[in-house]
Amino acid sequence: MRNIKLFDSGSHQFVLLNESEAGEEDGVRSNQYLIQHDGVGVLLDPGGFGVMPRVLAELLRYLAPENIRGVFLSHQDPDIVGGIATWLELVQAPVYISRIWMRFLPHYGLKDMSQFVGVPDEGMDCEVAPGFNLKVLPAHFLHSEGQINVYDPVAKVLFTGDIGAAMLPPDKDDAYVDDFASHLPFIEGFHRRYMCSNKAIRCWLDTIDGLDIDMIAPQHGPVYRGAAVPAFLDWLKDLQCGVDLLLPGGRFSK
């Protein structure tokens, strides 16, 4: 568990609100984030049902749930959406997710979909509150067919969902990636198998080209900062992954 302010200007904060324990999600730690601006905020990937009490406790250090003005779900996996029905008992705010996952969400015990906003394939600009603007960007097939990213232009942090995710051993607990070369063993296997294709990666790289990015905040593992940001993006550019590696008979090339 950790609570770290990745950015803090006083009136605007980007917070790693909670990192779940490895044992809570079958060995895969997950991150939950809060962006706060002038007393209101948004949650990014608030997590599964099991982590909800801890995330709520950390949130209360900053905001009351009624001051949440948006919830962003990067994709449809249960470690992201599993607790959303409980959150909606506390939060009266729009919930943003790719439009293609809207019809699947009722399977998480949701009876009322009126708070949900289907993000179009091309993404969207989102005015959370006056002076509080975020960019919702498409990251299709990385790894979800309808994954979305969220860019905070004030903090210059790009929340990337599963892009950049790391599978860390239990004894490694870094908050940040500063040396990309030493971090590569913890991300390479995941990205080769879970990212769909190099074409999908290059489309995403084109989408984020031109953004001023100081940090990349994934849903799993440490946050990339400094020289690790361009190093990670440069490594991704030529990565062969997913269907690029698929062989007849369901095998994958090494």
pLDDT at residue 27 tops 70: no
| Domain boundaries along the sequence of the chain | 4-162+212-221
The amino acid present at 123, given as its one-letter code, is G
pLDDT at residue 190 tops 80: yes
Cite the DSSP H helix spans in the chain. 52-59, 78-81, 84-87, 180-183, 188-194, 198-208, 228-237
Q: Which CATH superfamily is domain 4-162+212-221 in?
A: Ribonuclease Z/Hydroxyacylglutathione hydrolase-like (3.60.15.10)
Place of tokens 């779940």: 20
Per-residue pLDDT at 172? 83
pLDDT at residue 86 tops 80: yes
What is the overall mean pLDDT for the chain? Answer: 93
Per-residue pLDDT at 25? 47
CA dist., res. 93 & res. 48, Å (int): 19
pLDDT at residue 191 tops 50: yes
Q: Cα(first)–Cα(last) distance of the chain, in Å? A: 35
Report the phi/psi class of residue 242: left, alpha or beta, with left for phi > 0 and alpha for psi in -120 to 50: left
CA dist., res. 112 & res. 74, Å (int): 20
pLDDT at residue 22 tops 60: no
Per-residue pLDDT at 4? 94
> Which of 76, 83, 72 lies closest to 109, judged by CA?
83
DSSP string, 74-102: SSS-HHHHTTHHHHTTT--S-EEEEGGGT
pTM for this prediction: 0.95
Q: Contact 36/21 with Cβ under 8 angstroms?
A: no
Q: What is the mean pLDDT of residues 34-62?
A: 94
Q: What is the pLDDT of residues 219-242, one digit of tens each?
A: 999 999 999 999 999 999 999 999
Per-residue pLDDT at 29? 76
Highest mean pLDDT among 38-52, 68-82, 226-240: 226-240
pLDDT at residue 254 tops 80: no
